[in-house]
């Protein structure tokens, strides 16, 4: 039995030392020290010993058990330390590797054009106003002197939300004129940029959603000369000194007289080329003197006050400003395109 114990001890210690991981070591613990293990099997035979031998063997068996447990503990610690070492090695972070460059975007060309425009008007004493894209037809049409039956009210042109045509996506920023007159004290000097919606098919110059910047001035003694002077100054600031403009008579229900302002084509200087479709001029905005009836509907006495208003197409301005020839590029948001501005 003595020899058996000595052999178990030698075998077990060498086995423990050759274990390569915690699971292997645990299996060896069960093999040698477990309830059905080799050491227990020997202890079970103690009963067969003589009373003199029993305490001696008992003592020896206990010593062997203590030695095995000690060796097991040592091996387990060694394996843990090795595992930790390996983990530290695996998870090591090389702080000297260069980082990934973060891609920083920039403003969309439409936003650049809008910010420029706002700056120009703020510099002239205008206030920037914001308003809803879902608008009442009353403000988009009636209060702007476009009564029932006006062609622009047609279902084929306008996005309505209801069957009785009361709520709609605004088709122009002009209802902001009414909102300004309804909420602001006189004199009024506002610009109101925002999205507008019309049932247009997408092509190089059309989109069912686009942006306008509305402008309005109401004060005593305001004339068409102020309108022309202001818009000429804005055109020069936007498109460069010496930009030539032209005012053509036009019709809008809410202005009288009404006009459209063109700028001379920067490419051909007015001779006519593909950029201006042979016209020599590029249409930029609609404008006019606020119709007396529109003033009256907002409770402003047209005998005392007069005003003018304009609506600039923002896409059109951005296209001119950045010499882009297709409106769709503005909305597709291809970074290869956007990166150029």
User: Contact residues for ligand PHE (CB under 6 A)?
Assistant: 172, 174, 252, 255, 286-288, 309-311
Closer by beta carbon to ligand PHE, 75 or else 231:
231
Identity of the residue, 43 or 190, whose beta carbon is nearer to ligand PHE in the bound complex: 190
Name the token pair of 322. Answer: 């950045």
Nearer to ligand PHE, 54 or 251 (CB): 251
Give the nearer residue to ligand PHE in terms of CB position, either 220 or 251: 251
User: Considering the complex, what minimum distance in angstroms separates the CB of residue 288 from ligand PHE?
Assistant: 5
Q: Nearest CA to 289 among 310, 311, 308, 312?
A: 308
Q: Which residue is nearest to ligand PHE (CB)?
A: 311
Considering the complex, state which of residue 64 and residue 263 has its C-beta at the smaller distance from ligand PHE: 263
Give min distance, CB of 206 to ligand PHE, in A: 13
Q: Which two three-digit tokens encode residue 22?
A: 């915690």
The least CB distance from residue 108 to ligand PHE, in Å, is 22
State which residue, 31 or 250, has the beta carbon closest to ligand PHE.
250
Query: Looking at beta carbons, which pairs linking 241-244 to residues 24 or more positions away fall under 8 Å?
Result: 244/270
Q: Which CA distances in Å does 327 have to 87, 204, 235, 313, 333? A: 57, 5, 20, 12, 11
Q: How far is the CB of 142 from ligand PHE (least distance, A)?
A: 15
Q: How far is the CB of 214 from ligand PHE (least distance, A)?
A: 6
CB of 258 to ligand PHE, least distance (A): 6
β partners of residue 309: 216, 288
131 vs 288, which CB is nearer to ligand PHE? 288
- At closest approach, how far in Å is the CB of 255 from ligand PHE? 5
């Amino acid at each position: 039995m003595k020899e058996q114990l000595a052999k178990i001890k030698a075998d077990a210690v060498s086995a423990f030392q050759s274990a390569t991981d915690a699971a292997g070591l645990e299996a060896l613990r069960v093999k040698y020290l477990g309830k059905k293990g080799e050491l227990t099997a020997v202890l079970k035979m103690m009963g067969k010993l003589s009373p003199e031998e029993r305490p001696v063997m008992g003592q020896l068996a206990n010593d062997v058990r203590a030695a095995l447990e000690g060796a097991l503990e040592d091996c387990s610690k060694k394996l843990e330390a090795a595992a930790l070492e390996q983990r530290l090695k695996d998870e090591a972070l090389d702080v000297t590797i260069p980082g990934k460059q973060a891609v920083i975007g920039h403003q969309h060309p439409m936003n650049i054009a809008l910010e420029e425009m706002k700056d120009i008007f703020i510099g002239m004493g205008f206030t920037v106003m914001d308003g809803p894209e879902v608008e009442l037809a009353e403000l988009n049409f009636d209060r702007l002197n476009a009564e029932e039956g006006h062609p622009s009210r047609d279902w084929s042109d306008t996005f309505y939300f209801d069957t009785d045509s009361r709520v709609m996506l605004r088709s122009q920023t002009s209802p902001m004129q009414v909102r300004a007159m309804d909420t602001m004290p006189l004199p009024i000097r506002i610009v109101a940029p925002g999205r507008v919606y019309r049932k247009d098919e997408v092509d190089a110059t059309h989109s069912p959603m686009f942006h306008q910047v509305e402008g309005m001035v109401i004060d005593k003694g305001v004339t068409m000369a102020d309108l022309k002077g202001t818009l000429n100054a804005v055109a020069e600031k936007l498109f460069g000194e010496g930009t030539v403009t032209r005012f053509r008579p036009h019709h809008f229900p809410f202005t009288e007289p009404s006009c459209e302002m063109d700028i001379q084509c920067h490419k051909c200087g007015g001779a006519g080329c593909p950029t201006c479709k042979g016209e020599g001029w590029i249409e930029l905005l609609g404008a006019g003197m606020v119709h007396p009836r529109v003033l009256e509907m907002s409770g402003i006495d047209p005998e005392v006050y007069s005003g003018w208003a304009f609506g600039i197409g923002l896409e059109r301005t951005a296209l001119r400003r950045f010499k882009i020839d297709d409106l769709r590029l503005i909305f597709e948001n291809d970074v290869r395109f956007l990166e150029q501005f």
